[in-house]
Structure 1
Amino acid sequence: MALMKPIRIAVADDHAILRDGLCQILMTNPGIEVIAQVETGAEAIRLAEDPTLDCLLLDISLPDRSGIDVIKAIRRDNKKLPILILSMHPEDQYAIRALKAGASGYVNKAASTKELLTAIRQVASNIKFISPVVAELLADRIGEVDHEEPHTLLSDREYQFLVKVASGMTVTEIADEMALSVKTVSMYRTRALKKMNMKTNAELTHYAIKNSLVG
Structure 2
Amino acid sequence: MSPDPLRVAIADDHTLFRRGLWALLASVPDMEVCAEAADGGQALRRVVETHPDVLLLDIRMPGETGLEMLPRIRRAAPDTAILMLTMVEPGPSVLLALSEGASGYVLKGAEQDELLQAIRAAARGQLLLGPDVAAAVTGRQQTGPWQAPLAQLSAREREVADLLAAGLPVERIARRLGLSIKSVRNHLAVIPRKLGVATRAEVIEVAKAAGLGREMN
Q: TM-score if structure 2 supplies the norm length?
A: 0.70
CA contact (8 A) 2:105 2:129 kept: yes
Which residue does 2:186 correspond to in 1?
Answer: 199
Closer, same or farther: CA 31–149 of 1 in aligned 2, 3 Å: closer
1:142-185 CA-to-partner distances (Å, cap 9, x unmatched) read 2333797976636xxx99x98xxxxxxxx6xxx7xxxx6437xx
Cα distance in structure 2, aligned partners of 1:199 and 1:66: 27
Q: Does 1:28 align with 2:7?
A: no
From 198, 202, 206, the counterpart of 1:214: 198
Q: Runs in 1 of length 4+ with deviation above 6 angstroms?
A: 146-150
The CA RMSD over aligned residues, in Å, is: 3.4
Structure 1: any 5+ residue segments left out of the alignment?
163-170, 192-196
* Number of equivalenced pairs: 183
Cα distance in structure 2, aligned partners of 1:148 and 1:198: 25
Which residue does 1:167 correspond to in 2?
Answer: none
1:93-132 equivalent positions in 2, closer than 5 A: 93-132=92-131
Question: 2:128 aligns to what SS in structure 1?
Answer: coil
Which residue does 1:16 correspond to in 2?
Answer: 15
CA contact (8 A) 2:104 2:127 kept: yes
C-alpha deviation, 1:212, in angstroms: 6.0
1:201 partner letter: L
CA contact (8 A) 1:104 1:123 kept: yes
CA contact (8 A) 2:7 2:52 kept: yes
2:115 partner letter: L
Question: 2:63 aligns to what SS in structure 1?
Answer: coil
Which residue does 2:168 correspond to in 1?
Answer: 182
Deviates more, 1:136-145 or 1:39-48: 136-145
C-alpha deviation, 1:38, in angstroms: 0.8
CA contact (8 A) 2:140 2:146 kept: no
Cα distance in structure 1, aligned partners of 2:95 and 2:148: 14
Which residue does 1:68 correspond to in 2?
Answer: 67
CA contact (8 A) 2:34 2:50 kept: no
Question: 1:48 aligns to what SS in structure 2?
Answer: helix
C-alpha deviation, 1:25, in angstroms: 1.5
Question: 1:49 aligns to what SS in structure 2?
Answer: helix
1:69-112 CA-to-partner distances (Å, cap 9, x unmatched) read 11111122333310011111212342111111110000001100
Structure 2: any 5+ residue segments left out of the alignment?
178-183, 200-217
